[in-house]
Amino acid sequence: MPGITLGDTVPNLEVETTHDKFKLHDYFANSWTVLFSHPGDFTPVCTTELGAMAKYSNEFEKRGVKLLGLSCDDIQSHKDWIKDIEAFTPGSKVKYPIIADPNKEIIPQLNMIDPIENGPSRALHIVGPDSKIKLSFLYPSTTGRNMDEVLRALDSLLMASKHKNKIATPVNWKPDEPVVISPALSDEEAKKLFPQGFKTADLPSKKGYLRLADVS
């Protein structure tokens, strides 16, 4: 895909939101951010998703992670739409800011474009405190996000960052489950980093590359 992608720095755009105006890098500073886009207000799948984001907001707060929405309409439209979002998902409160992009000028700069429909997409970037994209999801218009998977992927990124990317998380990993030790580490280096020990999978190749450790 053209445009910014994994490892790229998000452009430091000045944006107008339902809260106030700010530069994106100021918002990203000192924390991780989930930045998610929507093609327009008062659309059915997006209404369910923004309600879910609000409902899960405590989970993001517990992890020290900010939320930032974006939709291709103006501020007043966003504020009116929020009433529907909160009504559809009882108990949810949309406390996170939503960027206004009525002229669709911001969304292509953030590479949140649907190549099939050739227009704004329902995309999601997880952005680190360094303003770089750490993970991206791009959804077709027919498929809503899975919030549990967004949280799981976020937990994986936070865990890897905590251990300076010397570990990775295996398939279907969840917090408190074993992680994989990077193949870049020798066994001696791994023993120093994981004094509690680790398990090497006994595989036919006998290459010893699949090592699992319990971490916190």
For residue 1, pLDDT over 50 is answered with: no
Q: Indicate if 72 belongs to the active site.
A: no
Per-residue pLDDT, averaged over 168-174, amounts to 97
Range of the domain at 208: 167-213
Residue 150 lies in a domain: no
Does residue 117 share a domain with residue 204?
no
What's the CATH code of the domain at 54?
Answer: 3.40.30.10
pLDDT in tens, 154-167: 999 999 999 999 99
- Predicted confidence at residue 85, as pLDDT, reads 98
Q: Distances from the Cα of 187 to the Cαs of 7, 8, 56, 161, 206, in angstroms?
A: 29, 32, 40, 21, 14
Does residue 114 share a domain with residue 198?
no
- Strands (DSSP E) contained in 28-121 are 32-38, 65-71, 98-100, 113-114, 119-120
- Predicted confidence at residue 119, as pLDDT, reads 85
Does residue 136 share a domain with residue 31?
yes
pTM of the full predicted structure? 0.94
DSSP string, 124-147: EEEE-TTSBEEEEEEE-TT----H
Q: Which of 46, 82, 99, 100 is catalytic?
A: 46
Residue 139 lies in a domain: yes
For residue 109, pLDDT over 80 is answered with: yes
- Which pair of structure tokens corresponds to residue 202? 């006994």
pLDDT in tens, 173-209: 999 999 999 999 999 999 999 999 999 999 999 999 9
Residue in 24, 99, 22, 92 with CA at minimum distance from that of residue 59: 92
pLDDT in tens, 16-40: 999 999 999 999 999 999 999 999 9
pLDDT in tens, 114-147: 988 888 899 999 999 999 999 999 999 899 999 9
pLDDT in tens, 49-84: 999 999 999 999 999 999 999 999 999 999 999 999
Does residue 100 share a domain with residue 48?
yes
Does residue 137 share a domain with residue 202?
no
